Amino acid sequence: MKILIAYSSLHGSAAECARWLEKTMDGAEAVNLKEQVVDPSSYDRVILGSSIYGGQIQKEVRDFCKRYLGILLQKQVGVYVTCLTREKAQIRQFLENGFPPELVERLAALCAPGGAIYFSKINFLERMFSKFLLNKYLKSLGMPPSDGKTDYVNLSKEIMNEFAKQMAGSGEKAEQ
């Protein structure tokens, strides 16, 4: 079985998930939509992966869905999003904002494993804003603040593993 992982990531967390899924799932091939064009026709299943900025998925993933919607609707499709929140209502909102409703309705699996802020990779302005955002989030969880320097990586392998199982057809249908 051939599985396409079509993803777009700004700073690397959605890419990290794509690489992990590619390694874990037999027949999976990860394609970075920022670098490569891919036609999903020849794949059996498709995983769409994106990070979230300001409540929105990455443009490349949105464009890919629009362009190949007819083909995607004929396949088993799963979505993962990387973002700080794991709150279901918010994740649902991100899906509804970014993906065609026909696709959201019939997703085979959905995964929100968490997110990452790689302070070591971003510029001064991004660092200021990301620190503000992350600390607001950590405060909402009653957790200590970030120093704005140490990379924050909170991607759950367990959640991704469950998603991989669902996409491989051996798990229960995703709760959406």
31 binds ligand FMN (CB under 6 A): no
Amino acid occupying residue 36: Q
- How many residues of this chain bind ligand FMN (CB under 6 A)? 21
In the complex, minimum distance from the CB of residue 11 to ligand FMN, in angstroms, rounded to a whole number:
3
Segment interacting with ligand FMN (CB under 6 A) among 33-41, 72-80, 96-104, 129-137:
129-137
In the complex, minimum distance from the CB of residue 1 to ligand FMN, in angstroms, rounded to a whole number:
26
Give the separation between CA 4 and CA 28, rounded to whole angstroms. 6
Give the separation between CA 20 and CA 5, rounded to whole angstroms. 11
Segment interacting with ligand FMN (CB under 6 A) among 65-73, 100-108, 128-136, 164-172:
128-136
In the complex, minimum distance from the CB of residue 13 to ligand FMN, in angstroms, rounded to a whole number:
3
9 binds ligand FMN (CB under 6 A): yes
Kindly write out the interface string for residues 84-113 of this chain, putting x where it contacts ligand FMN by CB under 6 A and - elsewhere. xx----------------------------
Give the separation between CA 17 and CA 21, rounded to whole angstroms. 6
First-residue to last-residue Cα distance in the chain:
25
Give the separation between CA 27 and CA 57, rounded to whole angstroms. 26
Give the separation between CA 73 and CA 63, rounded to whole angstroms. 15
Give the separation between CA 100 and CA 24, rounded to whole angstroms. 28
12 binds ligand FMN (CB under 6 A): yes
In the complex, minimum distance from the CB of residue 56 to ligand FMN, in angstroms, rounded to a whole number:
8
133 binds ligand FMN (CB under 6 A): yes
DSSP label of 40: G
| Rg for the chain, CA atoms, rounded | 16
- Residues near ligand FMN (CB under 6 A): 9-14, 51-55, 82-85, 115-117, 129-130, 133
